[in-house]
Chain A
Amino acid sequence: MAATGLQTAFRLLLITGVFACGAWFQANGLLPAILKHRSDVIYLIRQHLALAAVSGAIAIVVGIPLGVILTRPRFEMFADAVTQVVNLGTTIPTLALLALSMSFLGIGAPPVIFALFVLTLLPIVLNTIAGLRSVPQPLIEAARGMGMTPAQILRRVELPNAVFVILAGIRTALAINIGTVPLAFLIGGGGLGELIFTGIDLMEPSMLLAGAIPTALLAVFVDFLVGQIQFWLVPRGVNPLR
């Protein structure tokens, strides 16, 4: 009861805080200035989301099968080597990665998508491997002993028991991804970075905020979305959330 009381108080405080901020923005004329950029913001959000969605989708489509393959007995010995290589992609600073991919792929969306893909791949591959490895060995032995084929073991036993960890990887990956998209502006990829960087250059806080606030909200929203998917998609028996 005390906890719910505290939660309610916290929520009220948050709402009041947001309202106060809004009122303050309105009072010093910042809110109308931000809203002036409305049509730009909507256009750029679409671009932003497209970059994140395409690169994220490619990373998921490549990362999960890669993780699955690297946990099969025949390829298990390559797992460490491959994760090292993928790890390298994440170790390179994001800005350097963008610069490098620009020098190969030119400017515009393709180098951005490539860089974001490289960045997003690691958490997905690592979590897929970790998730599949954490499936208890007795489960697999029981499945084999009852006459499941390797494909059936993967689909009915391994993946359902690993899906929570895999989705946690996707959640982290997409959060990193969407937070990095603003840098795309630097190599001509568009996105909300356009407003942020231009706002900085012109020393115009309203333009800066018109880019920064939607970026932050998008990151929170995507995280929430994947969280919901995690909640509903993971089988109830192995879902720590419910």
Chain B
Amino acid sequence: MIRLEQVSKHFGTMVAVDRIDMEVPTGAVCVLLGPSGCGKTTTMKMINRLIPPTSGKIFLDGKDTTGVDEVSLRRSIGYVIQQIGLFPNMTVEDNICVVPDLLGWPRAKSRKRASQLLDMVNLDPSVFLKRYPKQLSGGQQQRVGVVRALAADPPVLLMDEPFGAIDPINREVIQDEFMKLQAELKKTIVFVSHDIDEAVKMATRIAIFRDGKLIQYDTPDNILAHPVDAFVSEFVGSDRTLKRLRLIKVTDAMMSDPPRVKAEDTLETAVRLMDEHGHVSVVMVGPRGRARGVVRHEVARDLKGLVGEHQEPLPGIVNIKDDLRSAVSQMFTHGVTWLACVDDDGFYKGYITQKSITQVLGTTYRDR
């Protein structure tokens, strides 16, 4: 856990950071967000005392960092910078082992750790351990930069726009990889960014800075739904509600335990089921419950026979683990107002409609 108490930094007469109070819970990813010059990077660098605070206190796990030896403090905090900063004179292996070596780990232990870490970010150790940074692509370098910070297994990680210098496609991939890693490792992370989309994607908490002041510190959904002032709402963008789509999973917005029919059911059964629920169509499932097709009310009511003979292909399906953004995208792609929701094995779990999405998004406004 990281706690900042009335932390300020003055450079001459300029106030870079003005009496910040905030707390980052253990295992959280806190994104410091704001325009350049807002004090977010300075705030982060005060945590490992690369910049000493002018006043105020910073606690790591309840321990005041003011008195602690700077060098050993920094060795216990992982640090990743935008320019990556891999040492070009060292191999990837030696780069990863910098902090373990400083801490005096036995060589065998640190080298084994390096190879494990490379494996975790999908770089083959037998290929990459002995390479030099200049022999790596930008994305590979940044992966090494991230695992280097993890080498000595520090509980806290500071990241200064770590994915800022990577092309957009690779950035998405590395962000996803990193989130997977974080889900496993549960480090406490302070992450500086100026990209609201990145923040919404990674953060459990977002802190918005302006002119050295902490304007709003809240969950991504609350920041997007309830910006405290005009600055924040302008900063997060006029499409902020669309950004919230990314924060909600399909599972949380879908109607579960839906009505369903099988191929051998009669059309009357299907029509009755639809009337009962007030639906205009019903999903047909296979023998074990996989979503197979759909029967529409207007087709079924005038005909006789079995469902299997009059079914049509499903207009669109979405995985229950996806976020609402991809669900809405699917809807627009296929020009429909509802989607069947399936799990990884294709079993029919529920359906999601534009109305249910609107309702989920609106809940937060009605609650207040």
Enumerate chain A interface residues (CB-CB to B < 8 A): 136, 138-139, 141-149, 152, 156-157, 160-161, 235-238
Contacts and interface: CB of A to CB of B under 8 A. Distances in A.
Given A139-B87, A152-B102, A237-B134, A146 B75 contact: yes
Given A139-B88, A147-B71, 12 more contacts: A144-B50, A145-B50, A146-B75, A147-B72, A147-B75, A147-B102, A148-B71, A157-B87, A160-B89, A161-B88, A237-B89, A237-B132
Contacts of A237: 87-91, 132-134
Interface in B71-99: 71-76, 79, 81-91, 98-99
Of listed B48, B90, B134, B158, residue having the most chain A CB within 10 A:
B90
Q: Which secondary structure characterizes the binding site on chain A? A: helix
A141 B132 CA distance: 20
B81 A142 contact: yes
Contacts of A161: 87-89
Interface residues of B, number: 29
Contacts of B86: 142
Contacts of B149: 146
A167 to B, nearest CB: 14
Nearest to B69: A147
B71 A145 contact: no
A86 to B, nearest CB: 28
A160 B133 CA distance: 14
A156 B102 CA distance: 11
A141 to B, nearest CB: 6
Contacts of B73: 147
B102 A148 contact: yes
A237 B92 CA distance: 10
Interface of B: 48, 50, 71-76, 79, 81-91, 98-99, 102, 132-134, 148-149, 158
A138 B99 CA distance: 17
B85 A142 contact: yes
Given A141-B81, A237-B133, A147 B89 contact: no
A238 B88 CA distance: 6
A142 B88 contact: no
B88 A146 contact: no
Nearest to A163: B89
A74 B87 CA distance: 25
A146 B89 contact: no
B235 to A, nearest CB: 27
A152 B50 CA distance: 16
A17 to B, nearest CB: 40
Nearest to B151: A146
Contacts of A144: 50, 74
A142 B91 contact: no
A144 B52 CA distance: 13
A146 B87 CA distance: 12
Contacts of B133: 237
Contacts of B48: 145
A141 B79 CA distance: 10
Of listed A138, A144, A146, residue having the most chain B CB within 10 A:
A146
B256 to A, nearest CB: 48
Contacts of B50: 141, 144-145
Nearest to A234: B89
Given A139-B85, A141-B50, A237-B134, A146 B90 contact: no
Contacts of B74: 144-147
